[in-house]
A = this chain, B = another copy of it.
Amino acid sequence: MDATSLLLSAAVPGEHARILLALAFVLVGAKLFGALVERLGQPAVLGELLFGVLLGNLALLGGPSMAPLEASETFAILAELGAILLLFEVGLESTPKDMMAVGIPATVVAIVGVVAPMALGFGVGQVMLPGESWMAHAFVGAMLAATSVGITARVLQEAKATRTPSARIILGAAVIDDVLGLVVLAIIAGVIRAAAAGTTLAASDILAIVLKALAFLVGAILVGSYLSPRLFRRALALRSQGVVLALAMGLCFGFAWLALQAGLAAIVGAFAAGLVMEDVHFEDHLKRGERPLHESLHALTGLLVPVFFVRMGLLVHVENFVKPGVLGFALFLTVAAMIGKWACGFAVPKGVSGVTVGLGMMPRGEVGLIFAGIGATLVLAGRPVVSPETYAAAVFMVVVTTMATPPLLLWSLRRDARA
């Protein structure tokens, strides 16, 4: 009889069980590795990344394959919720006014941080891929332009430095960078697709993308600043427990959704939601004896943020880097990526640490991988714009810039604190 298998198939839906097991391992492993690297004076996030790399490459050591977990949409969304909550938490620590105060230097840093790596990447493409067209070289440059602010935000938080001027410049520049990256990708992908189809690119499409992104940013800050105190006042009138956490989370996820609709990253929306919310909007609920929002949030981020960083490590396949022809290209690309972002450090105003800003802009994280992935789907003269070798080199660049950031940035932040 197969009553057993019938019951098992009803009682053990594979994905449910997989997520439960993954969460159990990820939470304990991330905490253990985080605590170990903290003992070595490194930020906990580095331990979480390393635990992810170990987990993702267990198969090389004869362990089980993590391919089903890597492919799990639910695990990916849990990780993204972690990144969203992290940026929301970081956004809560600043106001729109704080960000406006660094608006001009942040814009300059963002522009340098896009132009310099693009130029260097274009050069590396010309030297290392002489057979490819200028459009493929430009795409290599575009892959270096992205900034992934998750790692930097986490290190700033661990070092309790989110309210420093350099932190605000990095965070502001990262938001602007997301818009610029979107535009750069749209232009280059558009030019390549037009060339492949034998036509030219319509400037109106590019303009539409830019306008939509800017409309979200300006709208979110203006409408959000107006609505937030009013919504919280109404919600507190309900006199129900936990209403501040529910509304705050609702706005956070709502803004993240709107950002996606505007073509931006969800974390940009979550950061904007955090910016427009001020403690004073829900002071009353503290008087009622409820816990402050940041304390409740802390439990949520404690659960979900490690999922994001462990998953980021999980996606690293070390065997890809030892392929012939990859490692040399990868090293050049990585150096160009690092120098390109460090150049931001020369664009900061007086009194702000250029080294900290340059290092804070360095990690490419998953944004770099998304760019490379899009390049792999673009075809020019019968070949993908991003070949499997270029893709592997891009992954190497992402891994090194991402993994090197936590220790270097923490070192720089400590140096700033001493100065």
**Which of chain A's residues 252-282 have a Cβ closer than 8 Å to chain B?**
252-254, 256-257, 260-261, 263-266
A381 at the interface (CB under 8 A from B): no
A388 at the interface (CB under 8 A from B): no
Of A133-141, A239-247, A334-342, A401-409, the one with at least 4 CB within 8 A of chain B: A239-247
In the bound complex, residues from chain B placing their C-beta under 8 Å from that of A222 are none
Q: Which residue of B is nearest A240, CB measured?
A: B35
A128 at the interface (CB under 8 A from B): no
Among A25, A193, A264, A303, find the residue whose CB has the most chain B CB atoms closer than 10 A.
A303
Instruction: Tell me the number of copies of this protein.
Output: 2
A8 at the interface (CB under 8 A from B): yes
Neighbour of A265 across the interface among B11, B28, B209, B247, CB < 8 A? B11
In the bound complex, residues from chain B placing their C-beta under 8 Å from that of A256 are 20
**Which of chain A's residues 283-298 have a Cβ closer than 8 Å to chain B?**
291, 295-298
Whether A257 and B7, one on each chain, are in contact in the complex, defined by CB atoms closer than 8 angstroms, is no
Whether A243 and B31, one on each chain, are in contact in the complex, defined by CB atoms closer than 8 angstroms, is yes
In the assembled complex, how far is the CB of residue A270 from the closest CB belonging to chain B, in whole angstroms? 9
Whether A246 and B20, one on each chain, are in contact in the complex, defined by CB atoms closer than 8 angstroms, is no
Among A199, A238, A250, find the residue whose CB has the most chain B CB atoms closer than 10 A.
A250
Whether B249 and A201, one on each chain, are in contact in the complex, defined by CB atoms closer than 8 angstroms, is no
A66 at the interface (CB under 8 A from B): no
Whether A34 and B3, one on each chain, are in contact in the complex, defined by CB atoms closer than 8 angstroms, is no
A19 and B256 CA atoms in complex are apart in Å by 11
Whether A189 and B20, one on each chain, are in contact in the complex, defined by CB atoms closer than 8 angstroms, is no
A19 and B249 CA atoms in complex are apart in Å by 13
Whether B263 and A19, one on each chain, are in contact in the complex, defined by CB atoms closer than 8 angstroms, is no
A10 and B256 CA atoms in complex are apart in Å by 15
Whether A190 and B3, one on each chain, are in contact in the complex, defined by CB atoms closer than 8 angstroms, is yes
Dominant secondary structure at the A interface: helix
In the assembled complex, how far is the CB of residue A362 from the closest CB belonging to chain B, in whole angstroms? 23
A57 and B374 CA atoms in complex are apart in Å by 39
| 12 A-B pairs whose Cβ atoms sit less than 8 Å apart in the complex | A1-B201, A3-B205, A6-B193, A7-B182, A11-B264, A12-B261, A19-B77, A20-B257, A31-B235, A35-B243, A249-B303, A295-B295
Known A15-B77, A31-B238, A246-B302; further 20 A-B contacts with Cβ < 8 A? A1-B190, A1-B194, A3-B189, A10-B373, A10-B374, A11-B264, A11-B265, A12-B260, A12-B263, A19-B77, A20-B256, A21-B254, A24-B252, A31-B235, A44-B240, A74-B74, A242-B302, A245-B299, A295-B299, A299-B300
A residues sitting closer than 8 Å to B (CB atoms) are 1-4, 6-8, 10-12, 15-17, 19-21, 23-25, 27-28, 30-32, 34-35, 38, 44, 73-74, 76-77, 80-81, 84, 182, 185-187, 189-190, 193-194, 199, 201-202, 205-206, 208-209, 235, 238-240, 242-243, 245-247, 249-254, 256-257, 260-261, 263-266, 291, 295-300, 302-303, 306, 370, 373-374
